[in-house]
Chains A and B, each alone.
Chain A
Amino acid sequence: MEMDRLIAELTADARPVKRLRRPSIRAFEWLIVVGAIALAAIVVFADLHLFVERASDPRLAVELIATLVTGICGVIAAFQLSMPDRPRAWMWLPLPPFALWLATSGYQCYRDWIVHGPAGLQVGESAHCFQFIVLTSIPFGVVLLLALRRALPLDPNRVAMMGGLGVAALAAFVLQFFHPFDVTVMDLTLHIVAVVLVIGGAALGERILDHRAARA
C-alpha cells in the first residue's frame, strides 16, 4: 500500500531535528538585535536635539509610539504565525496601532492641507523618506524572512505580510529621527506606498524562498 511505503520512507529519513524555540522568544531576540543596530545609527547620525523638540508635541509623540508599537507587533505576529499551531488571530495584533499611526499622521496631513493647500502635494523631501523606508527595510526584511523561514511556514504569504508591515513600521519609526519636518499629504502617501511596497516585496521574497526550499 502506498501509505505504508510513504511511512517507511519518512521513517528512514527521520534524522534528529533541532526544535525551534518559542516564537515569542525568537521575536524578542530579533527585535533586540535590530533595536541595537538602529539605536547605534540614531546616536551616531541623528539630530537628537531637534527630535526631542518635535517629540514634545503630544500628537507627534502618539504617532511615534503608534509607529513603534506597529513595528513590534508586526514582528511578533509574524513569528507566531510562522508556527503551524498558533492561532490565526495573531494577525490582528498590529492592526490597532497601525490604525492609530495612520490616523495621527492623517490628522497631521489634514492640518498641513489647511495651512499649505495644494502646495503640500509636491514630492520634495518625501522622495528622500520613501528611499529611506525602502532601503532600511530591505536588509532588516531579509534577515527577518530568513529567521521566519526556519519554521517553514504553512501560510508564507500571511507571515510575510506581517513581517513586511513590522519592518516597514520600524523603518518609518527610525526615519522620524532623521526627519526634521512635519508630515505633508505627499509624505503620508509615499510612506504608505513604501510600506505597501515593502510588504509586497516581503511576500514575493517569501514565495521565492519557499519555492527554493520546496525544491531542496
Chain B
Amino acid sequence: MSASDDNESVTQSARWSRLMADAQNGDRTAYESLLREIVPFVRSIVARQHRTPDRIDDVVQDVLLTVHRVRHTYDPARPFDAWLAAISRRRSIDAIRRRVRRNAQETSDDQAYETFADPAANRDMEVRDAADLLGSALAGLTERQREALELVKLKEMSLAEASKASGQSIGALKVNVHRAIKALRAKLTGE
C-alpha cells in the first residue's frame, strides 16, 4: 500500500467516524450516507470468506443490521474502520458456522425436490412413475404374449375373436396370456 493510499484510508475512516458520531446523535442524513459508503468496504471483507454473490449480499446485509444494532458501542475517539472490520469479520464467520451446522444436520434428498405441496400433484407423479414401470415390464414380454394380453384382457375379446384377429390358436392364446401375466407379476412385484 502506498503512502497516498494510507492517507486516503485514514481520511475515509475519519470521515466515517464523524458521520457515525452524527448518526449516534440522530442525524439520519449522515447515517444514510455512512451506510451507503461502507457497503463496498464491508463487501471486500466478506468476499474474503464467501464466494457466491448471493451469499456475499446476505452477509453484507447482516453486517449492516449488526452495525445498526450495536452503533452505540462505537467510540468516535477510536478508528471507525477497525470497528467496522471487526463486525464484518465476525458476521462472516458466523455465517460460515451457520452453514456448516445446517449442512451437518440436513441430508440432500433429490426426490424431495420432486414432491409438491399439493397431494393431488404428487399422485399424478406417482401415476406417471407407475406407468413408466408398467411400460418397461411390458417391453420384457414376447410379441405374441403382448398381443394375446392386449386382445383378451385389454380389448376384452372372446378367445374365438382374439384367435381370428391374431391368427394364434385358442390354446396358444391361453398359454400366452397366462405366461404374460405371470411375467408381469414377477417384474412388478420384484419376485
Residues on A close to B: CB < 8 A? 2-3, 6-8, 10-20, 22, 83-85, 151-152, 154-155
Contacts and interface: CB of A to CB of B under 8 A. Distances in A.
B86 A84 contact: yes
Contacts, number: 75
Interface in B109-146: none
A154 B73 CA distance: 11
Tier of interface size on chain B: 20 to 34
B45 interface: no
B48 interface: no
Contacts of B72: 17-20
Nearest to B79: A85
A112 to B, nearest CB: 44
Contact of A7 (B32, B75, B78, B86): B32
Contact of A152 (B69, B76, B82): B69
A19 to B, nearest CB: 6
Contacts of B86: 84-85, 154
Given A10-B68, A14-B28, 10 more contacts: A6-B65, A7-B36, A14-B27, A16-B25, A18-B72, A84-B73, A85-B82, A152-B70, A154-B90, A155-B90
A62 to B, nearest CB: 37
Interface string B18-40: 00000111111001100110010
A10 B64 contact: yes
